[in-house]
Amino acid sequence: MFTLAHLSDIHLAPLPAPRLADLTPKRALALVNWVRQRRFLHRREVLDLLTADLLAQRPDHIAVTGDLVNMGMPQELIAAREWLNTLGTPERVTTIPGNHDVYGWRRGASDFGPWRDYMCSNAPGTGQASGPSQGHHAGFPFVKTYGRIALIGTSTAVPTPPLWATGRLGKSQRRALGHLLSTLGDDGFCRVVLIHHPPLPGQASASRGLEDAAEMAESLACEGAELVLHGHNHRPMLAFAQGLRGRIPVVGVPSASMHPDSHAPSARYNLLTIVPAGDGWRIGLTGRQYGPDGQMHEIERLHLAP
């Protein structure tokens, strides 16, 4: 059995003091938003309790599906790297970027330097199967394999105007992803896709959603996958995509730092258990949530597949 812990939307606090040179219009707006509202929602003490509970479960691997920071400032990326180190080494932890991680970036600029070893392939010959993606998506998709489990990391993080939170995979990443899903499926891997934005049409509003969700859904339908994990909406979500050999569970988690007094569901992570079963995989889910009593509680136990 392989146990994968999934958390997302860390929105790491405290926010480092911004440098004047880093304050693009989008970041300035985000800073006002943080001071007035978001710092009361995304709390470090909540995140710390959640991660302590998660580590006590001793999962085989931990997946963090984006929005690690708030405004994509260089000093935030360094602070998030230090936080990733507290979760574990890149052998045990995988992350992908979200829209908040590229806030205020210029088109074409791409530097996830501090996080790179948490988001790159661990198997020679995998990843970049159809040629490298360009610009912000350079290095995506990547693949980490653990036995017959393959974690496929994607990037939907692209710079957007103020008040927009859309994402995009882009044509070259989608092509490489389709090729990976196909070859890993042929080789009998359990394919777990990590993506920040909810991947299916209609799962988020036009100003917050994945622009190429229809193409992503088509890719899943043509090539298949065993599980898709996402964040971004800050609430628990469960949908099923139509896959090559049946339904594919598509699972979203709330923000891992959300305080219970917020309008959004409080902090939560999921434990996914993956067991080979016949010529497929049996997948279970256990949800653990931060309660109003300041403790973590198991709140859900589900069978996702078959």
- For residues 157 and 180, which CB has a smaller minimum distance to Fe ion in the complex? 157
What whole-number distance in Å separates Cα of residue 118 and Cα of residue 204?
Answer: 27
- For residues 112 and 189, which CB has a smaller minimum distance to Fe ion in the complex? 112
CA 177-125-4 angle, 5° bins: 60
At 118, the amino acid letter reads Y
User: Does 208 sit near Fe ion (CB under 5 A)?
Assistant: no
User: Does 101 sit near Fe ion (CB under 5 A)?
Assistant: no
What whole-number distance in Å separates Cα of residue 71 and Cα of residue 66?
Answer: 13
User: Does 99 sit near Fe ion (CB under 5 A)?
Assistant: yes
User: Does 67 sit near Fe ion (CB under 5 A)?
Assistant: yes
Residues 108-137 that bind Fe ion (CB under 5 A): none
- For residues 27 and 232, which CB has a smaller minimum distance to Fe ion in the complex? 232
What lies within 8 Å, CB to CB, of 87 at 6+ separation is 51, 55, 62, 64, 93
In the complex, the smallest distance separating the C-beta of residue 11 from Fe ion, rounded to whole angstroms, is 6
- For residues 232 and 268, which CB has a smaller minimum distance to Fe ion in the complex? 232
User: Does 9 sit near Fe ion (CB under 5 A)?
Assistant: yes
- For residues 27 and 191, which CB has a smaller minimum distance to Fe ion in the complex? 27
Interaction pattern, residues 165-204, with Fe ion; x per rule: CB under 5 A: ----------------------------------------
What whole-number distance in Å separates Cα of residue 3 and Cα of residue 305?
Answer: 15
Give kind and range of the element (H or E) at residue 28. helix 25-33
At 154, the amino acid letter reads T
User: Does 22 sit near Fe ion (CB under 5 A)?
Assistant: no
Give kind and range of the element (H or E) at residue 162. none
Given the rule CB under 5 A, which of 61-69, 258-266, 269-277, 280-288 is the region that contacts Fe ion? 61-69
Q: How far is CA 36 from CA 23, 201, 206, in A?
A: 17, 32, 25
What lies within 8 Å, CB to CB, of 146 at 6+ separation is 2, 60, 61
In the complex, the smallest distance separating the C-beta of residue 167 from Fe ion, rounded to whole angstroms, is 8
- For residues 254 and 287, which CB has a smaller minimum distance to Fe ion in the complex? 254
Which of the 8 DSSP states describes residue 237? E
At 72, the amino acid letter reads G
Residues 250-289 that bind Fe ion (CB under 5 A): none
CA 233-101-174 angle, 5° bins: 75
End-to-end CA distance of the chain, in Å? 15
- For residues 26 and 232, which CB has a smaller minimum distance to Fe ion in the complex? 232
User: Does 232 sit near Fe ion (CB under 5 A)?
Assistant: yes
Asked whether 197 and 209 are in contact (CB, 8 A), the reply is yes
In the complex, the smallest distance separating the C-beta of residue 129 from Fe ion, rounded to whole angstroms, is 27
Count residues binding Fe ion (CB under 5 A).
5
User: Does 159 sit near Fe ion (CB under 5 A)?
Assistant: no
In the complex, the smallest distance separating the C-beta of residue 199 from Fe ion, rounded to whole angstroms, is 13
- Report which of 2, 12, 154, 155 is spatially closest to residue 92, judged by C-alpha positions: 2
- For residues 98 and 139, which CB has a smaller minimum distance to Fe ion in the complex? 98
Residue numbers at the binding site for Fe ion (CB under 5 A): 9, 67, 98-99, 232
